[in-house]
Amino acid sequence: MMAAKERPLTAATVNGPESISHLQSSTARHCGQGLDLQQTIPGIDLPAVVEASGVTLAKQGARYSGLCPLHDEKTASFFVSKDQGKWRFKCFGCGAGGDAVDFVQKVYGLDFKEAIERLRLMGGFRPNSQPVQPKRKHSLRWDRYQPLTDDDAAYLKGRGLTDEIIQRFQGADILKHGTVNGKCDGIVIPLRSLPGRDLEAVQVIPVNGGKKEFQSGSRAAKGFLICLERKDSRHLVITEAAIDAMSVWQALPSANVISICGATFTSKLDQLSGDEADTITLFMDNDPAGKRAAELSAQILGTRFHDVRVVDYGDVSEKDPNDLLKAGKVEVMQRLVDEAVPLKSCLDDHPEPKPFPDELLPVEPFDFKMMPDTLAPWAKDIADRMQCQADYVAVTVMVVLGAIVGRKIGIMPKKRDDWVETPNFWAMLVGRPGMEIPLRFDSTVAPPALPPI
């Protein structure tokens, strides 16, 4: 999902005067002083701004789509499109939206002036005021958040964590309280890089319901929740969600634990060098997305760690490690980790390929009732006159009909999207030598003979 590195933005090719005027007035509102944006800003290529943040966009008709960098999602609900000559973004998952400045503010956690400066640095953005130098690579300060509230502690205890564990994590600066993106309030956890432990992003877990959100969302693809380190352990357990990581850390006293904070963030495991542990156990969720995340993670880690194992839930019904902790099944968690399947066994578990059978399976005889009523008599007449199997004529008729209809009929698979899929019929006619298939085809597509005058 993530692009490689920031790339320069193209010059002004997208935004018109209306968008620049919007930025002019927006600047006056936020800064109390006007910037001559009408003359100094050639324009903002919002798709390029988005991709420079690490989001991969796919073109769909007149707009672009991708995974939203502001929250964890598995299906793209983030769109960039032009509305009345102005580029805008909108996420139907978290509700975020706006122009390029709004996007930079939300993703990088910047104020308005810092967003203007970042856009300038990214591609020729020239406000006629003194540049505002960001205080750091991205404006995240862990010390701005507060201690956990009583509601936060009650939520964590309701998820199975003990008072002792909550206090230890809070004392180690791993759990705090705060607000992210100005709206999502709850338990805040730090996402740090490996091995440098730099603060890349923060994630908030709302205790009163709602979706988890990230501050500096695009950088969430680089950061882990790193639980309290057990220096004498060479066993590393990796989970999807942060609450799962804390659950495993509480249940298994002999393992180090980190969380990738979302099934879509497996690529961040590429930061691990191979020296962090002797044994890696992937304890992902017990659902299709979790199994896919385990497969992708194993592919990344299998080339640099000698002993990589994958938890197989078997007949266990709980969907993740935290469900097991809440159900009081600590022994089951320990057993699942102890019996985790080595990666080599997972790869060797595929059955040996079998040769194709020599005999051909019987084919049902063609029935003209399968064709439209208006075409069936005509196709049957051609088959009778040519003394050939009806299949040859019927298949040719339907493919030619599809070519005639062309793009007049389409299928829209998604409700909130303008993606249109046009049916594309194709066929291959196979027959024994002497069946004269080209002749049958030519006779079917030939125009009808006109009666003599």
pLDDT at position 337 is 96
Contact, 187 vs 204, CB < 8 A? yes
Rounded mean pLDDT, 274-301: 90
Phi/psi of residue 31, nearest 5 degrees: -105, -15
Contact, 310 vs 289, CB < 8 A? no
pLDDT above 90 as % of the chain = 24
**HEC profile for 286-322?**
CCHHHHHHHHHHHHHHCCCCCEEEECCCCCCCCCCHH
pLDDT at position 314 is 93
Phi/psi of residue 122, nearest 5 degrees: -80, -15
Contact, 283 vs 332, CB < 8 A? no
User: Tokens 């008599």 correspond to what residue?
Assistant: 377
**Does residue 327 register a pLDDT over 60?**
yes
Cα(316)–Cα(376) distance, integer angstroms: 55
Q: How far is CA 376 from CA 369, 381, 390, 398, in A?
A: 7, 9, 10, 10
**Does residue 43 register a pLDDT over 80?**
no
Q: Which residue has the higher pLDDT, 98 or 37?
A: 98
Q: Among 8-17, 97-106, 332-341, 423-432, whose mean pLDDT is lowest?
A: 8-17
CA nearest neighbour of 285 among 321, 249, 310: 321
CATH 3.90.580.10 is held by the domain 17-123: yes
31 CA to centre of own chain: 35
pLDDT at position 84 is 67
- pLDDT tens digits, residue range 132-176? 333 344 457 888 899 999 999 999 999 999 999 999 999 998 999
Locate the domains of the chain by residue range: 17-123, 142-348, 368-445
What pTM, to 2 d.p., does this model score? 0.50
- pLDDT tens digits, residue range 243-280? 999 999 999 999 999 999 887 788 888 888 888 899 99
Average pLDDT, the chain: 78
* Domain 142-348 CATH class label: alpha beta
Binning pLDDT at 50, 70 and 90, where does residue 445 land?
low
Q: How far is CA 236 from CA 40, 232, 302, 419, in A?
A: 52, 11, 14, 43
The dihedral of CA 403, 408, 413, 418: what is its sign?
positive
> Which two tokens mark 365?
């005889």
256: which strand partners? 236
134 CA to centre of own chain: 29
Phi/psi of residue 163, nearest 5 degrees: -60, -40
- pLDDT tens digits, residue range 57-104? 888 877 898 898 888 877 888 999 887 667 888 988 888 888 888 888
Binning pLDDT at 50, 70 and 90, where does residue 345 land?
low
HSE-CB of 426 using CA atoms within 13 angstroms: 3
Please classify residue 253 by burial: count the beta carbons closer than 10 Å to its beta carbon, then call 0-12 exposed, 13-18 middle and 19+ buried. exposed
Cα(77)–Cα(95) distance, integer angstroms: 10
Mapping DSSP to helix (H, G, I), strand (E, B) and coil, where does residue 46 land?
helix
Cα(348)–Cα(282) distance, integer angstroms: 18
Please classify residue 449 by burial: count the beta carbons closer than 10 Å to its beta carbon, then call 0-12 exposed, 13-18 middle and 19+ buried. exposed
Cα(239)–Cα(255) distance, integer angstroms: 12
> Which two tokens mark 351?
């059955």
